[in-house]
């Protein structure tokens, strides 16, 4: 999965995901989960770590609806301003609060050079 954003990016649209389990069913994140997102460039580790749960929005439709995101990540103003243009890796970890079991989603975040400087 790849997300593209222009730079500089003062106000960014949310990143919406459809996250499926191994059998192809859309995961139900409507309650009982916490989320953590890290963004970095391997092998340098994480540049940004996002754990504030108010920025992770889940779809409350039960069961989840295919074609609709079951997880949306919102950005605070300027949150990605420390990222230079280029390719970044992201990882989202969803942890079930009842048993501590985790699921991991990875992808690429591309910050494009702005054509209007």
Q: What is the pLDDT of residues 51-106, one digit of tens each?
A: 988 888 887 776 767 788 899 998 888 888 888 888 899 999 999 999 999 999 99
How many domains does one find in the chain?
1
**CATH number for position 67:** 2.60.40
How many whole angstroms separate alpha carbon 117 and alpha carbon 115? 6
Residue 52: inside a domain: yes
pLDDT given for residue 115 in this prediction: 47
> Residue 33 above 70 pLDDT?
yes
Which structural domain, as residue segments, surrounds residue 48?
2-112
pLDDT given for residue 55 in this prediction: 84
Specify the DSSP class assigned to residue 74.
-
Residue 50: inside a domain: yes
Which has the higher per-residue pLDDT, 103 or 24?
A: 103
Residue 117: inside a domain: no
Residue 70: inside a domain: yes
């Amino acid at each position: 999965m790849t997300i593209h954003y222009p730079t500089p990016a003062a106000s960014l649209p949310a990143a919406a995901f459809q996250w499926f389990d191994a059998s192809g069913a859309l995961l139900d994140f409507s309650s009982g989960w916490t989320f953590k997102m890290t963004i970095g460039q391997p092998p340098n580790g994480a540049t940004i770590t996002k754990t504030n749960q108010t920025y992770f929005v889940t779809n409350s439709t039960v069961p989840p609806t295919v074609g609709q995101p079951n997880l949306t990540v919102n950005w605070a103003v300027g949150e990605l301003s420390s990222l230079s243009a280029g390719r970044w890796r992201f990882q989202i970890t969803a942890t079930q609060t009842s048993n501590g079991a985790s699921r991991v989603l990875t992808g690429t975040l591309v910050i494009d050079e702005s054509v209007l400087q």
